[in-house]
Amino acid sequence: MAPSTPSSVVSRSGRFSGGPAADVAAFSESISFDWRLWRHDIRGSVAHATMLRSIGVLTAAELKAIKAGLATIGAEIEAGTFTWKTELEDVHMNIEAELTRRVPAGAKLHTGRSRNDQVALDVRLWLRDEIVALLDEVRTLQRTLVDLGASNDSVIIPGYTHLQRAQPVYLAHHLLAYVEMLDRDHGRLMDCFDRANVCPLGSGALAGSTLPLDREQVAKLLGFVGSDGKPRVTQNSMDGVSDRDFMVEFAAAAALLAVHLSRLSEDVILWVSSEFGFIRIADAYTTGSSLMPQKKNPDVAELTRGKSGRVIGNLMSLLTLLKGLPMAYNRDLQEDKERLFDSADTVRRCTRLMAAMLDNTTINASACARAAADPLLLATDLADYLVGKGMAFRQAHHVVGAVVALAEKTGRPLDRLTLADFKGVDPAFTADVTSVFDLGQAMARRRLTGAPGTAEMKKQIARWRKSLG
């Protein structure tokens, strides 16, 4: 029999004499944010209904009607014509109530299912899609960084420690450091996908069901399968409804990705400053000041740096949310979604915009060359030169320190000292000392795996080009 009003399928039917106080309804609703699970909710319901048909709970005609009804509702949601009702609390109830209003068999859809395993299913389905999309954005950003480095592969900049000029590196080498970080982010997201990719449906409210549900069939229909093609279903009903580890893992992977993007942003912000002037960002990716007419600000990078705060916060919120929960489902868990959505939305946008901004960034090669021409960047090479002459490194370090002090005292750059100056500090210096200050040669000398040398940098670019396609 078709219930005549949507509210008759609400969880309160039967047991309660009336609806919740208006304040309570507004306090406990989640439709204002979980509506976005609608696609996955419908997908899950179609799989569940298909299984209910195969175990004889639904007739073929009922299944057909349910599927058609859900498809129509999906189309209406997509078109923006579906009316969400706050009094129906959440996405699950909104869709089921509307389906049942239109299709009598809708009243059988919730057989052997609880909103507890339904929402656990929906968020897993949603997160899987989200991770796939994010992985794609991460790859795009990696490619952008490789391309920017490759098309400026002769540009050398100072490498910094303590934000003090340290040793020369290729700009490409600096950018490839982020490609490495992003690759680990990619790996972490893949791991997270694997853990999310287990079907909780059939866990019921917390204790499964007395009905002969075919959990494996549902899992297969929803793509919860391992690389061996076997269905993957949760193995404990209480864990199945209350496990949010996969969300925490995603939030952690997202937070680390956000931190990497924030570090990259910081480099961009420094590089675009007048003090560095290493890069120029296209107007479309910068903003002006309402007061100072000359300003062109790197707001995309600044906001990316700033937004890492909320992504880190979301991870803390989720952990705190979970830590005191007794078994099994508790309504507290409704609070997980906004944090999850926010982390996913934020890192996806930041990753996409970072790639777009860098795609519209040019390198100021002459400013980079001016900075990289600082001979002090090669002070360590000078010590290595003395090591090559047989001197102990500690002594060489001391000698070069004295040479640097002499240069400073006499107001000359390191490479303008005469051979007599060098010899005056230590007789180990010979005429070939000038070759130390040839930057091209200095870069060629850096041959170790992972070093910023010319050949190695080109090798790394080629490696990434190949693996990123």
Interface residue with ligand ARG, options 237, 334, 343, 346 (CB under 6 A): 334
Q: Is 203 in the site for ligand ARG (CB under 6 A)?
A: no
Phi, psi (deg, nearest 5) at residue 232: -115, 110
CB of 26 to ligand ARG, least distance (A): 14
Q: Is 234 in the site for ligand ARG (CB under 6 A)?
A: no
Q: Which helix (H) or strand (E) holds 463?
A: helix 454-468
251 close to 314: Cβ distance less than 8 angstroms: yes
CB of 13 to ligand ARG, least distance (A): 14
Count CB-CB contacts under 10 A for residue 43: 21
Of the candidate spans 44-52, 265-273, 286-294, 331-339, the one that interacts with ligand ARG by CB under 6 A turns out to be 331-339
- 366 among known catalytic residues: no
Q: Please, which of residues 30-69 interact with ligand ARG by CB under 6 A?
A: 30, 34
Q: Which of 4, 17, 162, 227 is catalytic?
A: 162
Q: Please, which of residues 96-115 interact with ligand ARG by CB under 6 A?
A: 115
What is the widest separation between alpha-carbon atoms in the chain? 104
Residue 447 tokens, joined: 């041959």
Residue 442 tokens, joined: 């200095």
Q: List all residues 6 or more positions away from 14 whose beta carbon is below 8 Å from its beta carbon.
A: none
Q: Is 90 in the site for ligand ARG (CB under 6 A)?
A: yes
CB of 254 to ligand ARG, least distance (A): 20
Q: What is the spatial distance between Cα 469 and Cα 463, in angstroms, rounded to a whole number?
A: 10
**How deeply is 271 buried, as exposed, middle or buried, from its count of CB atoms within 10 A (0-12, 13-18, 19+)?**
buried
Among candidate residues 17, 13, 257, the one with its CA nearest the CA of residue 141: 257
CB of 120 to ligand ARG, least distance (A): 9
Interface residue with ligand ARG, options 138, 333, 355, 442 (CB under 6 A): 333
N- to C-terminal Cα distance for the chain?
A: 57
Please say which residue, 90 or 98, places its beta carbon nearer to ligand ARG: 90
Interface residue with ligand ARG, options 119, 377, 399, 436 (CB under 6 A): 119
CB of 333 to ligand ARG, least distance (A): 5
The one-letter code for the residue type at 262 is: S
Q: Which helix (H) or strand (E) holds 305?
A: helix 299-323
Of the candidate spans 213-221, 300-308, 326-334, 398-406, the one that interacts with ligand ARG by CB under 6 A turns out to be 326-334
Q: Which of 54, 273, 289, 435 is catalytic?
A: 289
- 11 among known catalytic residues: no
The one-letter code for the residue type at 324 is: G
Question: Which residues form the interface with ligand ARG (CB under 6 A)?
Answer: 30, 34, 90, 115-116, 119, 331, 333-334
Catalytic residue positions?
162, 289
